[in-house]
Amino acid sequence: MPPVLLLMLYGALCSFGTAMLREEKNKLRNQVVEMFDHAYQNYMDHAYPADELMPLTCRGRVRGLEPSRGDVDDALGKFSLTLIDTLDTLVLLNKTTEFEAAVRRVLSDVRLDNDIVVSVFETNIRVLGGLLGGHSMAVMLKEGRQHMQWYQDELLNMAKDLGLRLLPAFNTSSGLPYPRVNLKHGVRGPETRTGTETDTCTACAGTMILEFAALSRFTGDPVFEEHARRALDFLWEKRQRNSNLVGTTINIHSGEWVRRDSGVGAGIDSYYEYLLKAYVLLGDDEFLQRFNTHYASIMKYISQPPLLLDVHIHKPLLPARTWMDSLLAFFPGLQVLKGDIRPAIETHEMLYQVTKKHNFLPEAFTTDFRVHWAQHPLRPEFAESTYFLYKATGDPYYLEAGRTILDNLNRFARVPCGFAAMKDVRTGSHEDRMDSFFLAEMFKYLFLLFAETDDLPFDVEDYVFTTEAHLLPLSLSTSPYSSPIASNRTTDEELDDSNFDWTCPNTRLLFPDPAFPRNLREPIRGVVDKSCPRPAPYREPGMGRPPLRAQDFMANNPEHLELLRRMGVSLIHLKDGRVQLVQHATQAVSAVAAEDGVRFMQEMMELSSQQQKEQLPPRAIQIVSHPFFGRVVLTAGPAQFGTDLSKSATGVRGFVTVAEPYRGCSEITNAEYVQGHIALLQRGQCMFAEKARHIQKAGAIGGIVIDDNEGSSSDTAPLFQMAGDGRSTDDITLPLLFLFHKEGNILLEALKEYREVEVLLSDKARDRAAIFKGKPLPGSLIEGSVDVQEAEEDCQTEATTPTSFEPVSQSQISTVELDESAAEEVSPAQEEISPATTAEEAPQEEVSPVEQQADSAQPKEERDEKRDSEETKEPRDDTDSNSQSVDEMLADWREDLEAFRQMEKDEL
């Protein structure tokens, strides 16, 4: 079947409902262009030639000069990543002059021989894809005889140079590439920091064929396509033959599956995408046959409309997790290309409702649509699926969905120097990050969504979009290709002819009734709106009552510590300030005391879980003065005392001033400046509550404590709640918030440069229009009825996170059954992943009251850190679905943590 037939679906438009007026579409199209200009020009003005823009601090991110973000930084290779990734976007948006200037910059400034280790996957889709997309556009413009007449395939030559630098990664017995390569030295072992890895994600190995085949066909050198095909052949052979699914992580040497969970999101996503698009681009039926085989299994086991849930490849009827990641938002768009429109509509509607609930898609969210991981790095996958569904259905509903995306980006992510990623979708706080894919993908899809055919400089139907939205011409299918590598052809016996039923649909037959898509969407909207049920009240397991109840426990009470000792429970203060509980039943003074210890640990687990659900969420510090005007929002930790900002309709607004002494541990000496202001304090030397009392006495209306640990950041450490000092804090009536050093430095630098800096302390970022019109600030940023807002707020403030107490029994407690809802909240001590709330500033040997954790996000440095190769546990056959042992519970948490670590590595 010619590849162009699949693309006929894009042009089969039907008009349902009232179409958006062309004038309104043009207005939104122009808004997309203006937003792109804001992002691109700030990158060029403040960051170039660095790889990325840091939009909060208005400077470039240069690898090695900024604190490491772990594997996230493997996308950066000191090759002006954002500029290369944006080349073909410039042409699509009719910025031909800027494109020509950008190409000249790339040719004169960019070096590819840097002694730096990069991700093979990210470099392929972003840099190699960007160069090939730029080459395609340059050739197209040159053929038009108006622009780029000087161009002589320079970008293609750079692309071949880069391809040759990536090829050493494929030097494995399996043909699967190493996940990293040194641009200068290739893969030589530890001395080049390469060649030591054993595992890679399925998407990392299976997302090479489009760029490598295009490179081969452009240059006439088959070596690139041969290696990409060999990797795909190996993955196909290693699929689980009963389920026809692939796992998430594979050993590149043995081909054994390291992680056997399977889905369509992080770790696997673009493997499926490239099988279908490789057929479209190259015209090879084998790719379509493989895709259809996988797709039949996806629809049988993973798709539970509107949900897409991971399963185990060996037991595909058994779910592997209870949450979904945001990367799966691309899948409805792929289903459009496949022609399976109904589930695409259903899943997209679920994603749209989650987006409206939280303003953006959280990095991960649960099956009842609560926030699981709260970050949002401005990912484009939802916009991508929105565009493809509009093209397939012509339904103006998807134009409104696009308008929602635009509005949320401008309201919550736009800052003076670009667009900042969301650190926490619940508070609206920002991260100093604007990934290159934001310019490469987001603006492409939004522009195409609102543009008319005559707005486009070329016919997009002549191109295939890569996973990074780079444009490769369909004409490559006619380019010669020959390979000596024997292909593992799919046999007819492995295929079910029914798999091909949806390949080239007639959309008029799919939608005989214009109301059909709406009928699919309505039930899903109701399901999401009615989500977030409250947890059932805790019922104490067992019959006995321990001598010490968890809710009464005080960590600085000697009598309580003695009771713990008698029960075989040890309290450990970790170096980072966390408190850890460990039970050794054999160390209890008696069997009865050991049983009491088991009950105490059970209560502590449940109490920690309940406290996590009830605790204060992170707070927001919004800079509202010139030139920020509310666009910069910093993630702040709350205090367990003082004003509860969630109960304040307006928050606390005021100018900041540095208190003297800066530590705030004695009477404030510059009270005349502090009075009526928000005081800035430095962490250390005394209790948080003591600092609050001193600035309150000086007349401050609020306080911000800035961490004294240089380099600390909420990027790499979760926030905590500031606890009291062990006595009543009812006398403290002002709000006190905590900033890590990095975020605090943004505030201090602003104060240094502009002298007068006004901030708003609140529970979440507020609508800027309301701020500057002087209206009362809404309690929620979500539009809708009061009842809906209350339900949504519940969703936003609850997240499945580890507790700060880490009760772990090393003997009898492992046999105790716990309620599963509580079990999900407990983190294993050996992972050391959940910092406690710091309650005091005194030396660590002083014991503090019971401490809690406030932030839901795991430390990025821990998420990025590669775990030792730990054998994935096979799914268990539970006889009681309502309970599980502590060992199983901790194993579940480890799997969840590892899944998110892997997600950060897979595609960013």
Are 87 and 137 spatial neighbours (Cβ–Cβ below 8 Å)?
A: yes
Are 162 and 135 spatial neighbours (Cβ–Cβ below 8 Å)?
A: no
Question: From CA 181, how far away is CA 174, in angstroms rounded?
Answer: 17
Residue 467, annotated as binding a ligand: yes
DSSP letters of 339-398? T-HHHHHHHHHHHHHHHHHHSS--SEEETT--EEE--B----HHHHHHHHHHHHH--THH
- Tell the burial category of 446 from Cβ atoms under 10 Å away from its Cβ (0-12, 13-18, 19+): buried
739 - beta bridge partners? 706
Are 674 and 659 spatial neighbours (Cβ–Cβ below 8 Å)?
A: yes
C-alpha angle 726-730-733 in degrees, rounded to nearest 5: 125
DSSP E strands in 156-202: the ranges are: 180-182, 199-201
Are 613 and 856 spatial neighbours (Cβ–Cβ below 8 Å)?
A: no
Question: From CA 282, how far away is CA 269, in angstroms rounded?
Answer: 20
363 among known catalytic residues:
yes
Catalytic residue selected from 66, 73, 211, 381: 381
Question: From CA 277, how far away is CA 474, in angstroms rounded?
Answer: 10
Which residue type, as a one-letter code, is found at position 898? E
- Tell the burial category of 497 from Cβ atoms under 10 Å away from its Cβ (0-12, 13-18, 19+): exposed
Residues 6+ apart with CB under 8 A from 205: 176, 177, 231, 234, 235, 250, 252, 271
Question: From CA 617, how far away is CA 801, in angstroms rounded?
Answer: 12
Catalytic residue selected from 122, 431, 603, 758: 122
Question: From CA 397, how far away is CA 409, in angstroms rounded?
Answer: 19
Are 401 and 345 spatial neighbours (Cβ–Cβ below 8 Å)?
A: no
Question: From CA 37, how far away is CA 86, in angstroms rounded?
Answer: 12
The 3-state DSSP composition of the chain as helix, strand, coil percent (nearest 5) reads: 45, 15, 40
User: Which of 853, 801, 812, 802 lies closest to 602, judged by CA?
Assistant: 812
Catalytic residue selected from 211, 325, 363, 851: 363
DSSP letters of 279-317? HHHH--HHHHHHHHHHHHHIIIIIEETTEE--EESSSTT
Written as six digits, the tokens of 762 are 């609140």
Catalytic residue selected from 211, 261, 269, 806: 269
225 among known catalytic residues:
no
- Cα dist from 154 to 91, 107, 108, 126, 472, whole Å: 17, 7, 11, 18, 17
Written as six digits, the tokens of 533 are 């049920």
User: Which of 437, 413, 423 lies closest to 55, judged by CA?
Assistant: 413
269 among known catalytic residues:
yes
Sheet holding 569-573, edge to edge: 569-573, 579-583, 808-809
Written as six digits, the tokens of 169 are 């990664």
Question: From CA 636, how far away is CA 678, in angstroms rounded?
Answer: 14
Query: φ, ψ for residue 787 (rounded to 5)?
Result: -60, -45
Question: From CA 377, how far away is CA 395, in angstroms rounded?
Answer: 28
DSSP state at residue 491 = P
Q: How many residues does the chain have?
A: 908
User: Which of 140, 499, 466 lies closest to 281, judged by CA?
Assistant: 466
199 - beta bridge partners? 251
Binding residues for Ca(2+): 467
Residue positions annotated with a catalytic role: 122, 269, 363, 381
Binding residues: 467
